[in-house]
Chains A and B, each alone.
Chain A
Amino acid sequence: MTEKNVLQISDFNVDFWVDGVWYPAVIDMNLGLAAGKVTAIVGESGSGKSTTALGLMSLLASNARMQGSVLVKGEEMLNAKSSVLRQFRGKEVAYIFQEPMTALNPLFTIGYQIIETLRNHFDMGPKEAEARALELITMVDIPDPAGSINKYPHQLSGGQRQRAMIAQALACDPALLVADEPTTALDVTVQAEILDLMRGLKDKLNSAILLITHDMGVVADMADEILVMKDGITVEKGTADQIFNKPQHPYTKQLLGAVPKLGSTKKRALPYKEDAKPDPVLKLSDVTIEYPKRGRQPAFTAVKNFSLEIYPGEIVGLVGESGSGKTTVGRASIGLLPVKEGSIQIVGKEIAGADQKQLSAIRRHTGIVFQDPASSLNPRLPIGESIGEPLLLAGIAKGAELAHMVEELLDQVELPRSYRNRYPHELSGGQRQRVGIARALALTPDLLIADEPTSALDVSVQARFLDLLQELQVKLNFACLFISHDLAVVDILCHRIAVMQNGLLVEEGDRDQILKKPQNDYTKRLISAVPVPDPAEQRIRREARLALKK
């Protein structure tokens, strides 16, 4: 234990009081962090990493109990007076949260929020504070600083909001910056920029950073030291090099093994011959989709002249950043959104302009798995009913026969049959996505549309989910449109890849062709921005990417 450490955590314990019992969330954590260094806490959801971050400055809910010692610059923070805590919060210890939209107050301009932080901690006049705020906004590279200072959070893009939050966090030159999943809500290219920014600022200001993340690629990019947590226990601790190259604990190995890596899977043969293509299951030709004018908001063209064909038995990945229109394509393909121009055909039947009756007939050939496991199942229905609904409504089965079919579907997605009577809130995210697949496959569709089904899942859960999806695809031989922002996932799963940007299809082709020999600049940038869970390789990639930018 050295005096120089900005943050010194010893024997830190957090328990939560639930229903008459204390449940431990963090157990005997020890950590020292020196100025100018980055320590990453990694682990899956529920491992206690965010609890640790909030517990440092006593920001937890009232049913939490903390024990041990947390020293910031040699001063005890645990059970300190609230006046002491207030002095440290923001000034010495600043936080960056995951979702900048909810962490910034939508009613105030970003400039006002930064000035507020400044004037809370320093004896500063409004003019002076504004000058400093402008300086900070310039420092975090928000375009047009003088104009942006008067902008409200909703007027900025996700990446700019995160930058504004970083500017606010840095307002008082904090000795310690706690970044709780700072890039999880961002696109890969934006994530790479934010990480560059944080790295640069750390060197400039000599702050210590406590980085909390589940993304091993981000960790490889940033961390000097790593702490792996599982169920509140620190299972392994070491330098980045040790953890990535010589992991000791089986859990660390498992965690690293589950991370999908770009270009690590073998070539997958197309299920058909290039010169004798069967009839496509899904055929989009020159599709344009527009969100109509709403009040004063003008009409917005989300997808323009989009053409794509999917043949039986193949998985096509549709990648792009948020706002590129990939989800719109997925939803339109199943008739949930009207098409303005062009045609969409499923097994030869036209969706564009079809009426309700025709649509429901076409939909029997399709299934869809949604992105958010929290909202894709009706919380008031037992999952057996959710899975059986398509069968019931299609008039295929009811009563005991339906129950039997639901059980078979549950078997297929490897969930216990007894789950039939459970409610969605009783299931974990991964289990709910399995239920989503079971429901989508109930009618044995020819086409499955999977809209970012793994983006809300932990890596190990995601790995198992992808295995399952692959197995089912081989067994049932359906065609699949797999929408994702994660190139590594698409790499594992797909035969072909289509890349979208701003509603346009920019590149489309064989998986290896896209990932190894991308032609389009945007595709190149997208691929180079994906962080790789290997510190040494990531450094090389980072330099290559910066070179590409110049």
Chain B
Amino acid sequence: MKLFGRKTSEGELLAGGENAIANKEVEGLSQGQIVRRRFFRHRAAVIALVTLTSIIVFVLSALDTKMGPIRIPGWWKWGVEDIPELRFEDCPGGTTGCPTLSINPNSHFGFGTHPFGQDDIGRDYFALVMNGARRSLMIMFVIGIVSGFIGVVVGSISGFYGKKIDSVLMRLVDFLQTVPTIIIAAVIGKAAGKVGPLYLALFLGILGWTGLARLVRAQFLSLREMEFVDAARVAGASNLRIAFKHILPNAVGQIIVSITLIMAGAILTETALSYLGFGVVPPDVSLGLLISQYESAFTTRPWLFWWPGFFIISIALCVNFIGDGLRDAFDPRQRRRITKKDRLQAKLQVKAGE
């Protein structure tokens, strides 16, 4: 398919070509528009995008946000530090702090005072989960950005210059890949836990870029041989311009997809580390930490697992689906399958035409 993407335009004698029909779909659209269109056709990805956005907005707006002297109040009545009275009436089996959320529409639908329940000392579990989700999201994005940045820079330099620089950088990648991430992260996490989750995220980001760097390098190696790069060089473009204006935009699809997958992995790594006790440490909360703290209460108070678990799974799943949708959208070979509905619709159209 050497001429993929060729298309016709109305009344053009020269236009046409082998893929004229297949490219009717992309007529008159820029690359970005095509990608957007393909993405929005991927139903799972769109649902995931909407869900993730809602989760982020929901989680961020629930609690008070402090940025230096500015304080934006959240809409939820409890904060992480509040210790309201522990509730124990109508809880099953003599437990305390059971959730008041009732989603049975027939009887009494309502949130109650503590919809997700309370922890051992009575702190509102909804507030804790929201705070944990915030931390986990923050860690996820920081890891994505840091490893994305390092991966792209190292991969680009390696692929663009080749030769010695490439060898040196790729040996570094080999070395980092042989290091067991979870153990290094545990050691760093132990140290970083005291300084806060942001540093943990930065460290994890610094370890997580190797796969992306290889990918970007491969893209650069193949794109660098394209004729348009030679054309730019003949036009007098500097190396920097060739790398940033001509090669990188063409690799951006792969990069975005890869970063979303890194992010989905990051939230799970954070959870795993926190569960092992090497990630986020109290008094800070993260979703993984919440799960590990109430490990022993699984049989008696299962709600302490439901909600952190629900958020971890939803976020990781959404990011994965978005990555999936982006990959399909950037892949020019993706064609839509024809469904029975499509065939029926075409038949109806023909009939209407007659």
Residues of A within 8 A of B (CB): 16-23, 25, 44-46, 50, 61-63, 231, 331, 334, 336, 360, 363-364, 366-368, 370-382, 386, 389-390, 393-394, 423-431, 436, 439, 442, 456, 461, 464
Cα distance A466–B23 when bound, in Å? 27
Contact A423 B30 (CB under 8 A): yes
Q: A374-B4, A439-B235 are in contact. Are A18 and B24 (CB under 8 A)?
A: yes
By a CB distance below 8 angstroms, the chain B residues around A371 are: 227
By a CB distance below 8 angstroms, the chain B residues around A367 are: 234
A311 to chain B, nearest CB (A): 22
Of B17, B29, B31, B227, which contacts A428 at CB under 8 A? Answer: B17
Q: Name which of B103-111, B319-327, B331-339 contacts chain A.
A: B331-339
Q: A363-B234, A374-B4 are in contact. Are A428 and B22 (CB under 8 A)?
A: no
Closest to A382 in B: B30
Q: A374-B2, A379-B5 are in contact. Are A17 and B346 (CB under 8 A)?
A: yes
Q: A50-B18, A374-B3 are in contact. Are A380 and B231 (CB under 8 A)?
A: no
Of B19, B233, B336, which contacts A63 at CB under 8 A? Answer: B336
Cα distance A370–B3 when bound, in Å? 15
By a CB distance below 8 angstroms, the chain A residues around B250 are: 378-380
Q: A366-B234, A378-B232, A429-B17 are in contact. Are A19 and B3 (CB under 8 A)?
A: no
Interface of B is mostly: loop
B10 to chain A, nearest CB (A): 12
By a CB distance below 8 angstroms, the chain A residues around B14 are: 428, 430-431, 461, 464
By a CB distance below 8 angstroms, the chain A residues around B18 are: 45-46, 50
A390-B234, A431-B14 given; 20 more Cβ-contact pairs under 8 Å: A16-B21, A17-B346, A22-B346, A45-B16, A50-B18, A63-B335, A336-B230, A336-B233, A374-B5, A378-B246, A378-B250, A380-B31, A380-B250, A381-B246, A390-B235, A425-B6, A426-B7, A428-B6, A429-B17, A430-B14
Of B3, B19, B338, which contacts A373 at CB under 8 A? Answer: B3
Contact B232 A423 (CB under 8 A): no
Q: A374-B2, A428-B8, A429-B6 are in contact. Are A62 and B337 (CB under 8 A)?
A: yes
Cα distance A390–B235 when bound, in Å? 4
Contact B249 A380 (CB under 8 A): yes
Cα distance A380–B2 when bound, in Å? 17
Cα distance A461–B18 when bound, in Å? 14
B20 an interface residue at 8 Å Cβ cutoff?
A: yes
8 A-B pairs within 8 Å (CB atoms) are namely: A336-B230, A367-B234, A374-B3, A376-B227, A377-B231, A378-B232, A393-B235, A428-B7
By a CB distance below 8 angstroms, the chain B residues around A61 are: 335
Cα distance A370–B230 when bound, in Å? 9
Most buried by A among B9, B20, B228, B350: B228
Contact A25 B335 (CB under 8 A): no
Q: A45-B16, A379-B5 are in contact. Are A368 and B335 (CB under 8 A)?
A: no
Contact A378 B228 (CB under 8 A): yes
Contact A17 B342 (CB under 8 A): yes
B336 to chain A, nearest CB (A): 7
A501 to chain B, nearest CB (A): 25
Contact B5 A19 (CB under 8 A): no
Of B17, B31, B335, which contacts A379 at CB under 8 A? Answer: B31
Of B227, B231, B236, B338, which contacts A394 at CB under 8 A? Answer: B236
Q: A375-B226, A431-B15 are in contact. Are A426 and B28 (CB under 8 A)?
A: yes
Contact A23 B21 (CB under 8 A): yes
A52 to chain B, nearest CB (A): 13
By a CB distance below 8 angstroms, the chain A residues around B349 are: 20-21
Contact A336 B232 (CB under 8 A): no
Closest to A19 in B: B25
Contact A377 B228 (CB under 8 A): yes
B140 to chain A, nearest CB (A): 29
In the A-B complex, list the 5 residue pairs whose CB atoms are closest, starting with the nearest. A425-B5, A390-B235, A376-B227, A380-B249, A370-B227
Cα distance A164–B343 when bound, in Å? 41
By a CB distance below 8 angstroms, the chain A residues around B246 are: 378, 381
By a CB distance below 8 angstroms, the chain A residues around B233 are: 336
Cα distance A442–B246 when bound, in Å? 19
Contact B24 A19 (CB under 8 A): yes
Contact B345 A44 (CB under 8 A): no
Cα distance A306–B318 when bound, in Å? 61
B120 an interface residue at 8 Å Cβ cutoff?
A: no
A67 to chain B, nearest CB (A): 13
By a CB distance below 8 angstroms, the chain A residues around B5 are: 374, 379, 424-425
By a CB distance below 8 angstroms, the chain A residues around B26 are: 425-426
B237 an interface residue at 8 Å Cβ cutoff?
A: yes
Cα distance A425–B226 when bound, in Å? 15
Cα distance A137–B15 when bound, in Å? 42
By a CB distance below 8 angstroms, the chain B residues around A431 are: 12, 14-15
Q: A45-B18, A424-B5 are in contact. Are A393 and B335 (CB under 8 A)?
A: no
Of A17, A23, A376, which contacts B338 at CB under 8 A? Answer: A17
Of A20, A231, A442, which contacts B345 at CB under 8 A? Answer: A20
A216 to chain B, nearest CB (A): 18
Contact B227 A16 (CB under 8 A): no
By a CB distance below 8 angstroms, the chain B residues around A19 are: 24-25
Closest to A367 in B: B234
B196 to chain A, nearest CB (A): 40
B216 to chain A, nearest CB (A): 16
A47 to chain B, nearest CB (A): 8
Contact B28 A429 (CB under 8 A): no
Q: In chain B between 1 and 59, which residues have their CB closer than 8 angstroms to a CB of chain A? A: 2-9, 12, 14-31
Closest to A99 in B: B2
Cα distance A431–B3 when bound, in Å? 13
Cα distance A61–B336 when bound, in Å? 11
Cα distance A45–B30 when bound, in Å? 24
Contact A368 B237 (CB under 8 A): no
Closest to A61 in B: B335
A463 to chain B, nearest CB (A): 11
B344 to chain A, nearest CB (A): 11
Of A23, A389, A424, which contacts B232 at CB under 8 A? Answer: A389
A307 to chain B, nearest CB (A): 23
By a CB distance below 8 angstroms, the chain A residues around B227 are: 370-372, 375-376
Q: A393-B237, A428-B8 are in contact. Are A45 and B17 (CB under 8 A)?
A: yes
Contact A393 B236 (CB under 8 A): yes
Closest to B239 in A: A356
By a CB distance below 8 angstroms, the chain B residues around A378 are: 228, 232, 246, 249-250
By a CB distance below 8 angstroms, the chain A residues around B20 are: 46
By a CB distance below 8 angstroms, the chain A residues around B237 are: 389, 393
B276 to chain A, nearest CB (A): 44
Cα distance A425–B19 when bound, in Å? 11
By a CB distance below 8 angstroms, the chain B residues around A16 are: 21-22
Contact A425 B236 (CB under 8 A): no
A401 to chain B, nearest CB (A): 17
B99 to chain A, nearest CB (A): 48
B173 to chain A, nearest CB (A): 20
Contact B16 A428 (CB under 8 A): yes
By a CB distance below 8 angstroms, the chain B residues around A334 are: 234
Cα distance A426–B349 when bound, in Å? 28
Contact B22 A18 (CB under 8 A): yes
Closest to A25 in B: B21
Q: A16-B21, A21-B349, A428-B12 are in contact. Are A336 and B234 (CB under 8 A)?
A: yes
By a CB distance below 8 angstroms, the chain B residues around A380 are: 31, 249-250
